Amino acid sequence: MGDYIRYAMKRLGQFVLVVFIGVNLAYVITHATPIDPVEQSISASTSFGNAAPEAIAEMRRSLEELYGLKGSWSEQYLAFWSRVIRGDFGPSMSAFPTPVSSLIARAMPWTIGLLVTSTIITWALGNYLGALAGYHQRSRALKAFGLAAMGLHPVPYYIVALVLLIVFGYVWPILPISGGAAMNMPQGWNWPYVASVLKHSALPALSLILIGLGSWFLGMRSLVSNIITDDHVVYAEIGGVDRRRILRSYVMRNALAPQLTGLAMSLGGIFNGAVITEKVFGYPGVGTLLVDAVYAGDYGLVLGVTTVSIVGVSLGVLIIDLIYPLIDPRVQVD
């Protein structure tokens, strides 16, 4: 147990470091700007519609703090951090005066739902099929699947999403291609609404799964084809252990540990893919929020989504790291 605590503390330290560097990166980027962002933002948002003077003053204050234009260098930096820690990015400009934090909170469940479900399906299915393909190397169906995975895996998320959109939007329109649920439907935990959500998430999830499947499949296949020549597997085969049991407990269990590390390492990339996929399918998650915020020139929202995604992804990595010892009890304390 002491080993586990030490391991967990180390992972926690890495998490803090990632968030620290990531947020600093965001700070440095926003200070590299050659234009005066505050004046530009405020004139852009007040040019149409008349906002209350107090609201504009509130926005100017939060923008100045976020951009860190007030006070000395150290004051600017601390004000920026205190806003980040409180999760207070001021009022949104494109949806004035809704706070940025509530816009993100509204979009978050959609992204988390889509991302977690499709990642788990992709990882489990890809690893299972990959293990089968590595174990039964003569199977024609699995070989064909391997070819398909090789052809699909290197294609970027956007292209696959666009092709699915064209196929299911214009050629064979059977699935909804836009939105998170049917319009004008009251939100709630009832079957029609849940069914509509599931139906609307089918295409975004499918494009995430199609792209992701290949890398787990190919990785697992090569891991397994190396493990099956190991002594303990050969011994089990000679000893007449049930072949399904060999695959499950002797082969897959050993190969899963590096694949779980792989999942932690590629979580950022998967998140990038989800952001793009959401935009293509008009899914109401943080990806769509981010892209639309850029189009609208909504500074607080862009910075808010960026920061929240850095924290969110590193939190996901931390969770995977913490359950890692359950899969591989030989916790590495190096």
Interacting residues toward another protein by CB under 8 A: 14, 17-18, 21-22, 25-26, 29-30, 32-35, 37, 137, 150-151, 153-159, 162-163, 166, 169-170, 222, 225-226, 228-229, 264-265, 267-269, 271-272, 275-276, 279, 290-291, 294-295, 299, 302-303, 305-306, 309-310, 313-314, 317
Q: Nearer to another protein by C-beta: 149 or 181?
A: 149
CB 281 within 8 A of CB 177: yes
Q: Tell me which residue has tokens 């439907």.
A: 185
CB 286 within 8 A of CB 104: yes
Residue 90 DSSP label: -
Q: Nearer to another protein by C-beta: 110 or 181?
A: 110
**Minimum CB–partner distance for residue 53 and another protein (Å):** 27
**Minimum CB–partner distance for residue 131 and another protein (Å):** 16
Q: Nearer to another protein by C-beta: 197 or 278?
A: 278
Determine whether 293 is exposed, middle or buried from the number of CB atoms within 10 Å of its CB (0-12, 13-18, 19+): buried
**Minimum CB–partner distance for residue 289 and another protein (Å):** 11
CB 264 within 8 A of CB 119: no
Q: Nearer to another protein by C-beta: 10 or 60?
A: 10
Residue 99 DSSP label: B
Q: Nearer to another protein by C-beta: 17 or 124?
A: 17
**Minimum CB–partner distance for residue 295 and another protein (Å):** 8
**Minimum CB–partner distance for residue 183 and another protein (Å):** 20
Q: Nearer to another protein by C-beta: 127 or 288?
A: 288
Q: Tokens representing 82? A: 């205190």
The identity of residue 78, as a single letter, is L
Q: Nearer to another protein by C-beta: 124 or 150?
A: 150
Q: Residue 3 and residue 324: Cα distance in Å, rounded? A: 13
Q: Tell me which residue has tokens 């709630």.
A: 188
Q: Residue 291 and residue 307: Cα distance in Å, rounded? A: 15
Q: Nearer to another protein by C-beta: 123 or 271?
A: 271
**Minimum CB–partner distance for residue 265 and another protein (Å):** 5
**Minimum CB–partner distance for residue 186 and another protein (Å):** 31
**Minimum CB–partner distance for residue 4 and another protein (Å):** 20
Residue 69 DSSP label: -
Q: Residue 306 and residue 282: Cα distance in Å, rounded? A: 19
The identity of residue 103, as a single letter, is L
Q: Residue 71 and residue 68: Cα distance in Å, rounded? A: 8
Q: Residue 46 and residue 192: Cα distance in Å, rounded? A: 41
